[in-house]
A and B are shown apart, each in its own frame.
Chain A
Amino acid sequence: MNKQITRLAVGALVLLSALIVGTTYWQTFAVAGLADRQDNALARVAQFTVNRGKIYTARGHVPLARNEKRKVDGQTYYFRKYPNGYLAPHVVGYSTQSRSRAGIERSQNDYLTGANGDFSSVTQRELDKLKGVTLEGNDLLLTLSPRAQQTAVRQLAGKCGGAVAIEPQTGRILALASSPTYNPNAVEKKFSAITKIRTRGCNFAAPLLDRATQGLYPPGSTFKVVTAAAALDSGAYKPTSEFVDPGYCEEYGKRVSNAGNPESPETFGTVTLAQGLQHSINSVFCNIGKQIGAGKILEYAKRFGFYATPDVELPADAQSPSGLYRKHKLFAPRDPASQVDPGRLAFGQERMLASPLQMAMVAATVANHGVLMQPHLLQQVVSPDGKTVHKVKPEKVRRVISRKTAAALTQMMRSVVTGGTATNLASSGLDLAGKTGTAEIGVNGKYDTWFIAFAPANDPKVAVAVALENQTGFGATTAGPIAKAIVQAVLPQRSNNGTSR
């Protein structure tokens, strides 16, 4: 029997060693993947024993997230508190036991818990763990300007929409706000209070939704900037190219009217392309669209960042790509000429949807002489001992349009404020360039309204986009003043003095 016993013994020992192999898998290879899973409450709670990094606005002026040390059952925990909780909840997000994490708290969790780093710091961390030393995370400095951010939040209050401000030359996001908003301190224990938030005008209040990055609205006439860019940059048109506007444009044998009552629309007669943008004449852009084709417009839209996640430092699922949508899904037509109505696309209808962040990128690109910079929220990562672990440098995404096209667009957008659809926003000392948008949403008398802008036009310091849901007024009178206020909050005081109309 001894032969059989030996064989059986080998078999049993092989089975048991397989257990060591299995355990090794879970404790080495699988670790990173499991720790990142959203339903892993255990890893989340365990990370509350880490003295999590704090979060500040630009240059560390205003604290956005700090810790509250508390002992529970002999174990020290660091629970999150959000001073100035209402300032940037959609950017900072939250880190809770009960409801996982969101925003920067989620996307930058590795920095905040100190789980990043090279071999020596990882080794140090393991040693600290064994010694029972409290692990320290890295502090984050964001790009947000407290003044601009606060202005954006205050201006949006009571409305439904989002606003983004970008520094054109660097891509730094100076303000990113969404309304209705919520108090991140309530997420852990009083979540029902958040779900009860209602705002007049919103179809769904959804305060946790970041309308600035996840909100998708028909861009309406603000999209004419993209169409004009395509028309000029491709060489098909000049700013001085002339159009005859009978008040409508014919497409597929039907009339597509200018703004106003379809029976008696505004009519401008013979106009230039520049005037078409200045007065936001649909028929002009409809004809441009028919001429250059939907494919060309979409090609330029992509160059501006449409059809891709903006790739700011927020969780990827909190950033919606802009573009044509069909059945709630991003729709990239294989043959745009036959699948997309070029005339309507040219003035931002035709199932085109854009986020405020995307339209701010459009404005910023024009402002930065045609070069799109990577928008970013993270400025600097600072280790517990004060050393800079990581500094985000301005990064060029691509040249979208030529310097010449950008200059022409700047002049045209300036004329929108000086003598076009947004004259109500003109003020001496503020050299504002912008574009209005008032998009039909299929409900009579209700519009999603927009204003995208940058200033000062000759040397832009800030580009903004504001989108509001369910408005009864026009872009210039609803979103416009908000955009202007944010611009003024960024620019030095001296250029703000003249606020007369």
Chain B
Amino acid sequence: MSERNRELLNLIVVAMLTALGFASVYIARQSVVSTASLSYAAFFFALYLVAHFVARYAVPHADPYLLPMAALLAAVGVTEIYRLNPDNAFKQGLWIVIAVGVFSATLLVLGRDYRVLESYKYLFGLSAILLLVLPALPGFGTTVNGARLWVRAGPLQFQPGELAKLALIVFLAGYLREKREVIAQGRLKDLGPLLVIWGGAMLVLVETNDLGSGLLYFGVFLAMLYVATARFAYVIAGTVLFVIGSAGVYRISGHVRDRVDVWLHAFQHADTSGYQLVQARYAIAHGGIGGTGLGHGTFTAPGSSTTYIPYLNTDFIFAALAQELGLIGAAGLLLVYMLFVARGFRIALLTDDGFSKLLAVGLTFAFALQAFIIVGGIVGLIPLTGITMPFVSYGGSSVVANFVLLAGLMLVSNRANTVRGAT
């Protein structure tokens, strides 16, 4: 069976699962939601069919599992968002339409050869910095939940950081491909531009209090540096630098100190700074192994619309899913993430040029690390930092950026498979 036919088959399975999800929410909450919900699955299937046909035309040999997995994650997310607040699900649906549009455009524009991006690497580096600085500029940015990382443009609100992440990966892939030998030899001069861009990015992050993204970018940077230079010492040096930097930030920033304190002693701050985390754990624990079932979870007092967990449908959507789907569902969801990541690394292995490898590694690792940072924060492996769960969380910029990430991986994969087929 050809790649695209396999993809289509998988998408049909995803569509059936989506229909099942919406149906169970509908059954559980008939009095609150309308029958329209039953048509949502069909709508999403149609949307993914569009993406599929674009892929069939632009990247015929791309990995057939990535799109269905992304579709599944997005469907799980939108189902849960729908269960929590149907209005938000409608908005999220619109964002998914936009995201699929951007995804298709990316495939169509870059389908012939995405490697042209490499020649624009400094442009990407610069725009990454610009995008990161944007929210910090007066007049543009707005502060949400203690972090200044939003830009308001009329009725729209978006997080430029999500796109900056992708731009940075493109820059790093290009730059490291070109300089990897010299950097590996340890010439400090060649590390210069990297450090400058990094220093800038980190400063902006500290300034905007967006620690989750700081960790994400730094992790991706180290991972790509390691893959490019094969020097594990750089990873160690980088980690040491990061620890020193964090210790410094810990000393000067009350925000960071709070986060660490809450991480270590969440239950001692159950009424104040640890409230959100403690409530999230109550929610997760309540799900147990089997979960309460979609639509049967408890997130509010009876008749109230205020959820016990603030930001339930964005940063904390994992807590909602873990309660309703239980350990079985939550572990399943995490397994989908793992499969996606495994496929991503497989693409990096299969492709034969340095830029493509680094690009695939960067995109895949960013995806993995982002999931780790938010879920790890909720379950207590690391301090909690607000960041979206890829494809699942409510939030437009996040969904769009992740579909672009998906497009990137499919582009690299298509080329790898085409070249291999030709030789």
- Contact surface of A with B, Cβ cutoff 8 Å: 1-6, 8-9, 12-13, 15-20, 22-28, 30-31, 34-35, 37, 39-43, 45-46, 48-49, 71-75, 77, 97, 126, 129-130, 132
Complex contact A97–B302 (CB within 8 A): yes
A72 near B302 with CB under 8 A, answer: yes
Q: Which residue of B lies closest to A32 (CB)?
A: B285
Known A-B contacts A1-B357, A19-B375, A73-B32; the reply to A12 vs B286 at CB < 8 A is no
B140 lies within 8 A of chain A by Cβ:
no
**Inter-chain contact B368/A16, CB cutoff 8 Å:** yes
Instruction: Flag B293-315 by CB within 8 Å of A: 1 or 0 each.
Output: 10010111111000010000000
In-complex Cβ contact of A30 among B285, B348, B349 (8 A): B285
Bound-state Cα–Cα, A49 to B296, Å: 10
Given A12-B368, A39-B271, the answer on whether A4 and B302 have CB atoms closer than 8 Å is no
Q: In the bound complex, what is the Cα–Cα distance between A43 and B308 (angstroms)?
A: 11
Are A13's CB and B331's CB within 8 A? no
Whether B270 is near chain A, meaning CB under 8 Å from some CB there, is yes
Docked complex: B381-407 residues within 8 A CB-CB of A: 381
B286 partner residues in chain A, CB cutoff 8 A: 31, 35, 42-43, 46
| Residue in B closest to A98 when the chains form the complex, CB atoms | B301
- Residues from chain A with a CB closer than 8 A to the CB of B358 are 1
Q: Among the listed B28, B226, B335, which residue makes an inter-chain contact with A4, where contact means beta carbons less than 8 Å apart?
A: B226
Q: Which B residues from 21 to 35 make CB contacts under 8 A with A?
A: 28-32
Q: Which of A8, A22, A39, A74 contacts B270 (CB 8 A)?
A: A39
Question: B348, A5: Cβ atoms under 8 Å?
Answer: yes
**Beyond A27-B326, A46-B286, 9 extra complex contacts between A and B, CB < 8 Å:** A1-B228, A6-B345, A13-B341, A16-B334, A23-B379, A28-B327, A31-B288, A42-B308, A43-B285
* Contact in complex: B298, A46 (CB < 8 Å): yes
Name B278's closest neighbour in chain A (CB-CB).
A39
What residues on B are CB-neighbors of A71 within 8 Å? 31
B285 touches A41 (CB 8 A): no
Complex formed: what's the CA distance from A77 to B337 in Å? 36
B-chain residues with CB within 8 Å of residue A30 when the two chains form the complex? 281, 285
CA separation between A30 and B358, bound complex, in Å? 41
Contacting residue for A5 out of B28, B300, B361, B379, CB 8 A: B361
A451 → chain B closest CB, angstroms: 44
Which of A3, A9, A19, A31 touches B371 (beta carbons < 8 Å)?
A: A19
Residue from A22, A35, A71, A72 having most chain B Cβ neighbours under 10 A: A22
> Provided the pairs A8-B226, A15-B369, A24-B327 are in contact, do residues A34 and B281 lie with their beta carbons within 8 angstroms?
yes
Contact A130 B302 (CB under 8 A): no
Q: Is the CB of B330 within 8 A of A12?
A: no
Closest A-B pairs by Cβ, 4 of them: A22-B379, A74-B31, A9-B345, A46-B298
Distance in angstroms from A405 CB to nearest chain B CB is: 50
Please give, as numbers and ranges, the residues of chain A lying within 8 Å of B226 by CB-CB distance: 4, 8
| Cβ contact of B322, chosen from A8, A16, A17, A23, cutoff 8 A | A23
Q: With A12-B345, A27-B330 as given contacts, are A73 and B31 in contact (CB-CB < 8 Å)? A: yes
Which secondary structure characterizes the binding site on chain B? helix
B233 CB to closest chain A CB (Å) equals: 13
Residue B212 is within 8 A (CB to CB) of chain A in the complex:
no
Q: Chain A residues near B289 (CB, 8 Å)?
A: 27-28
Q: Which residues of B contact A23 (CB under 8 A)?
A: 284, 322, 327, 330-331, 334, 375, 379
Contact A15 B368 (CB under 8 A): yes
Residues 204-227 of B, flagged 1 when their CB comes within 8 A of A and 0 if not, give 000000000000000000010011
- Bound-state CA distance A2–B283 (Å) is 42
Residues of A within 8 A of B338 (CB): 13, 16-17
User: Is the Cβ of B30 less than 8 Å from the Cβ of A74?
Assistant: yes
Whether A19 contacts B381 in the complex (CB less than 8 A), given A31-B288, A126-B290, A130-B290, comes out as yes
With the chains together, A402 CA to B283 CA distance in Å?
56
- Evaluate contact between B290 and A3: CB separation under 8 angstroms: no
In the complex, 24 of the A-B residue pairs with CB atoms within 8 angstroms, ordered by the A residue number, are A1-B354, A2-B349, A4-B226, A5-B227, A8-B361, A12-B369, A13-B341, A16-B368, A16-B371, A17-B338, A18-B381, A19-B376, A20-B334, A23-B322, A25-B379, A27-B285, A28-B288, A28-B289, A37-B282, A42-B286, A46-B298, A73-B32, A129-B290, A130-B290
Q: How far is the CA of A30 from the CA of B286 in the complex (A)?
A: 10
Most chain-B CB neighbours within 10 Å: which of A2, A4, A19, A97? A19
Nearest-CB residue, chain A, relative to B332? A20
Which B residues fall within an 8 A CB radius of A? Answer: 28-32, 223, 226-228, 230, 267, 270-271, 278-279, 281-290, 292-293, 296, 298-303, 308, 322, 326-327, 330-331, 334-335, 337-338, 341-342, 345, 348-349, 354, 357-358, 361, 364-365, 368-369, 371-372, 375-376, 379-381
Q: How far is the CB of B284 from chain A (nearest CB, A)?
A: 5
Q: Once bound together, how far apart are the Cα atoms of A129 and B28, in whole Å? A: 13
Asked if residues A27 and B327 are in contact (CB atoms below 8 Å), the reply is yes
Which B residues are CB-close (under 8 A) to A28? 288-289, 327
- Checking B223, B281, B296, B331 against A20 with a beta-carbon cut-off of 8 angstroms, the contacting residue is B331
Which residue of the partner chain B has the closest CB to A11? B223
Given contacts A13-B342, A16-B337, contact A45 B301 (CB under 8 A): yes
Q: How far is the CB of A57 from the nearest CB of chain B, in Å? A: 29
Contact yes or no, A73 B303, CB < 8 A: yes
Identity of the chain A residue whose Cβ is nearest the Cβ of B229 in the assembled complex: A4
Contact of A3 among B31, B230, B267 (CB under 8 A): B230
Closest CB of chain A to B312's CB: distance in Å? Answer: 12
Which residues of B sit under 8 angstroms from A20, Cβ to Cβ?
330-331, 334-335
Give Cα A26–Cα B409 distance, bound, in whole angstroms.
34
In the complex, are the beta carbons of A9 and B342 less than 8 A apart?
yes
A13 to B303, CA, bound (A): 41
Residues of chain A lying within 8 A (CB to CB) of residue B341: 9, 12-13, 16
What residues on A are CB-neighbors of B302 within 8 Å? 45, 48, 72-73, 75, 77, 97
- Asked whether A97 and B379 contact (CB < 8 A) given A24-B331, A26-B285, A42-B308, the answer is no
Assess whether A19 is in contact with B282, with CB atoms less than 8 Å apart.
Answer: no
Q: In the complex, are the beta carbons of A19 and B301 less than 8 A apart? A: no
A8 touches B379 (CB 8 A): no
Query: How many whole Å from B13's CB to the nearest CB in chain A?
Result: 22
Residues A43 and B282 in contact, CB atoms below 8 Å apart: yes
A30 to B282, CA, bound (A): 9
Docked pose: A362 CA to B298 CA in angstroms? 48
A129 touches B292 (CB 8 A): yes
Please tell me if the beta carbons of A26 and B270 are within 8 angstroms of each other in the complex. no
Distance in angstroms between the alpha carbons of A72 and B228 in the assembled complex: 58
Contact yes or no, B32 A74, CB < 8 A: yes
Give the Cβ gap from A126 to chain B, nearest Cβ, in Å.
6
A49 contacts across to B, CB distance below 8 A? 298
- Asked whether, in the complex, the Cβ of A26 is within 8 Å of the Cβ of B271, the reply is no
- In the complex, which residues of chain B have a beta carbon less than 8 angstroms from the beta carbon of A5? 227, 345, 348-349, 357, 361
A41 with B301: CB separation less than 8 A: yes
Using Cβ atoms and an 8 Å threshold, which residues of chain B touch A77? 302
